[in-house]
Structure 1
Amino acid sequence: MKKIFLILPLSMLLFAVGCNRSMEHSEEALVSEVSTSKQADYAEAPEVAAADVAAGAAVDAAANPVNPVNQQLKIIRRGDLSIESKDIQASKKNLDVLLKKMGGYYEQESSTSNRDELTTYNLVIRVPSKQLDAFMGNLENGKDKITSKSMTSEDVSILYYDVESRLKSKRAYLARYQGMVASAKSVKDLLEIQEQIRLLQEEIDSSEGLLRNLGGQVDYSSININLFEYNANLPMGSNSFWSRLKDSFVFGWNLIETLALGIVGLWPVLIVVGLAVALIKKFRKNRKNKFLNKE
């Protein structure tokens, strides 16, 4: 009887331990199954990887903020000039020589002449930013008169280095996506990875174009020049008696030309009026002759 009482508790203890181990094995199997399911879902959805890549890019950008303080400033300088010249052809040649000496070039060049044979040049020139001050000094100390001048400076350092930083991140993630091509498990995955590569490449091309544009404007300053002559033989910008006398002669001559051309332009009317006057005179003469013959 005592043996039965001893065996019964021992059996119950062994049964409890066995149940506990069975439950632990069941939980481990369930966890393994869920983990396998998640990995399969992740492999079938590369867009999740894309989101992770984009999130990683955002984290990298936040961890490496743009700080142009310790970098070279990116300044865009522009100018507008109006220059009055006594001898505009000589002034244009001098400007050509000076521009070549400074390493600049014409971005745009046009000229116009009015009926008084006064020439005006409208020029857009690009000068290396390092030579801009020397270029302006040569113009200001030259023989020609600068009638107006406007210079501006724009700091684009933050924009430039921000685009540059983002471009580096995009190139890094483009390399990651290109590495994922070989590990694609299905055609769907491959197409989605290639689409992400295409979008990244377009963004990289756009950023590279923006950097080139900004770099060109920073390295070469742009100046709009209006080079004109008021009157080659008179003091610059003068309104003297001789200038007004010449203008009066020109006005009188133009008036004579206008009247002469107007009269010539009315030749049909003059012919009709002449014929009408001749007919009237003939009619009166015939009438007078008839009256004399009756007497």
Structure 2
Amino acid sequence: GILMKKTLLSLAMAGTIILTSCGSGQKTAKNEMAFSDSAKSDSAIAYSDSEAYGGAQEAQENIESSQLSYKQSEVKAIDTQMLIYSCDMSIDVLEFDQAVDRIHQLISKYKGFIESEKYSDGGNTSKWQYSDVEKWKNLTTVIRIPSSQYDNFCGEAEAIGDMRRKNASVQNLTTEYSDLKTTLSIYEAKEKRYLDILSELKSEQDAIQVENELTQIEIEIAKIKTRMNNIENDVAYSYIYLTLNEVREYKEQPVIERTDTFGQRLKNTVSRTWDNFLYFLENLLFVIIRLLPYLLLIALIVFVIAKLVKFLAKLSEKRRQKKYQQRAQQAPAVPQPPQFPQENMPGALDGNNELPKDNMQ
């Protein structure tokens, strides 16, 4: 019986082990299948994410490229319709008169005109005649040349002499001119509308008000047209600010060597100093002689003024004393105390200055 129980227990344990191993195998297979499925799903998700990321990146690149192409399409060429050219140049010439004639010939050649001109012969304002060697002539002028001939004129003008300074510039007024045109069209439309309103008005007061508005509009239109005309003229004719300076060719002076001795130079210096001192005294004497009549006249005037002041002071003092005496005479008399003879006064002294005996006793 005991053997039988051990055998059954052994079979039960073996069956339990077999069932457990089968269950774990199935579970492991299921886990492996689940893991493979999750791996596949993860790879699919990763692929889909990478595909989505690639599509997003491609879309972003497309957007950036489209924006770049849009920005590139926004770049426009600079409008060069209203350009004003100007040039400031200074030229030194040896033959001044010939250079001036050449400038006038170039102006006529290129159909320009002189807007302003200032000429100086180099002499000062004193009334003296100077030789041509002592004069330094100068010409400053503003020349207007057609813009189509601007470069040609500047090129030939530079060859007249020695170019010392040149400043060229270009001003673009296209935007301003375009704005003026737009503003002008607005004002003209407004003017037309007011004219239509004015033609339909019957009230005189309303008509006067509309006419005032029309006047202001016409003034603004006139200002805009004036500015537009100035821009058009400046664009059509460029500015040349030209200065011509007369110069002379520099020649080096030869060096003169000293041949005199120290004693000779000292003697010459003392002689020149003494001569200068005598010349100073001579001029001082001449100055005193020239000023002597004026000094005498000034001294005479001072003397007369001093005498007149002294006389007026004395006269004022006399008047003051006279006025004081008159006031003293007009004042009331002051009563005087009674006076008695000395001999009748008791206790009076006699002629010997002795007191009476009775009084002494």
Give TM-score, length-normalised by structure 2: 0.47
1:198 equivalent in alignment to 2:206: no
Instruction: Find the counterpart in structure 2 of residue 87 from structure 1.
Output: 95
1:209 equivalent in alignment to 2:226: yes
User: How is 1:78-227 mapped onto 2 (pairs within 5 angstroms)?
Assistant: 78-115=86-123, 116-140=134-158, 142-227=159-244
Higher relative contact order (CA 8 A, sep 6+): 1
Give TM-score, length-normalised by structure 1: 0.56
Q: CA RMSD in A?
A: 3.0
Structure 2 regions of 5+ residues with no counterpart?
A: 1-75, 124-133, 257-274, 290-361
Deviations 1:128-177 (A, max 9, x none): 1110001111123x241111100000111000111012112211221121
User: How is 1:23-34 mapped onto 2 (pairs within 5 angstroms)?
Assistant: none
Structure 1 residue 268: deviation in Å? Answer: 7.0
1:241 equivalent in alignment to 2:262: no
Structure 1 regions of 5+ residues with no counterpart?
A: 1-67, 246-258, 274-295
SS in 1 for 2:253: helix
SS in 2 for 1:242: coil
Deviations 1:168-215 (A, max 9, x none): 221122112112112113122211211111111010000011101111
Deviations 1:65-118 (A, max 9, x none): xxx969662011111100000101000000000111111111111111224211
- Paired with 1:244 and 1:160, the residues of 2 have a C-alpha distance of 65
Structure 1 residue 241: deviation in Å? Answer: 2.1
Instruction: Find the counterpart in structure 1 of residue 266 from structure 2.
Output: none
Deviations 1:252-290 (A, max 9, x none): xxxxxxx99xx79x75723858xxxxxxxxxxxxxxxxx
- Paired with 2:221 and 2:100, the residues of 1 have a C-alpha distance of 43
Q: CA 1:169 to 1:272, structure 2 compared with 1: closer, same or farther past 3 Å?
A: closer
Q: CA 1:243 to 1:111, structure 2 compared with 1: closer, same or farther past 3 Å?
A: farther
1:269 equivalent in alignment to 2:280: no
Q: CA 1:182 to 1:243, structure 2 compared with 1: closer, same or farther past 3 Å?
A: farther
Percent identity for Structure 1 against Structure 2:
21
Structure 1's consecutive aligned runs of 4 or more residues displaced over 6 angstroms after TM superposition are 68-71
Q: CA 1:226 to 1:154, structure 2 compared with 1: closer, same or farther past 3 Å?
A: same
